[in-house]
Amino acid sequence: MGKIYALASIKGGVGKTTIAGNLGVALGQMGRDTLLVDTDLAMSGLTQLLNVGEIKKSLQELLSKRVRVEDVIHSLPGKTNILPAGGELESYLKAEPNKLASILDEVKDDYDYIIVDTPPGLSKYNLEPMKASDSCILAVIPDPTAVSAAEKLESIATILDIELGGH
């Protein structure tokens, strides 16, 4: 059974997506079956970072329609796969992020690690992936605004009983 780690930050631009992508690719290169999940439905940063290419179906369709998860996952080099975010505005508006936990449960046994890249900010779009994970890693840079945002997210994680890595 795989472990699910979410990378999160309220503040954008702290390197969260880059960390998620590098971690997922490195684990795949080390022979670990790894699934990267891009939950940034508005920007699809991880999907773009890894140059996934043409996407016919994405996480947005999984969260808003009935499609099979196997039809959405894309293979990357090594043992890394990605569940891309997509980019259709209509699907974004219809997406139900609370469905993510059941999607991750469906594929959890197929992977050693599932790395979830959450969108920046504080909304259901990043709290639901955090709640669906086994542990959450907060990305922060040494900047007063970023540190303050991380402290706020840590407080919310404690209230919601979300495990933070390193605690």
Say what the pLDDT of residue 166 is: 52
Helix axes of 100-107 and 124-131: crossing angle, nearest 10 degrees: 40
In the chain, where the domains are located: 3-159
* Residues above pLDDT 90, as percent of the chain: 69
Of the candidates 94, 110, 150, 81, the one whose C-alpha atom is nearest the C-alpha of residue 3 is 110
Task: Estimate to the nearest angstrom the gap between the alpha carbon of 156 and the chain centroid.
Answer: 18
In the predicted structure, residue 80 carries a pLDDT above the cut 60 = yes
For the chain, what is the mean pLDDT? 90
**What pLDDT is attached to residue 97?**
79
d(CA 30, CA 42): 31
3-159: in CATH 3.40.50.300: yes
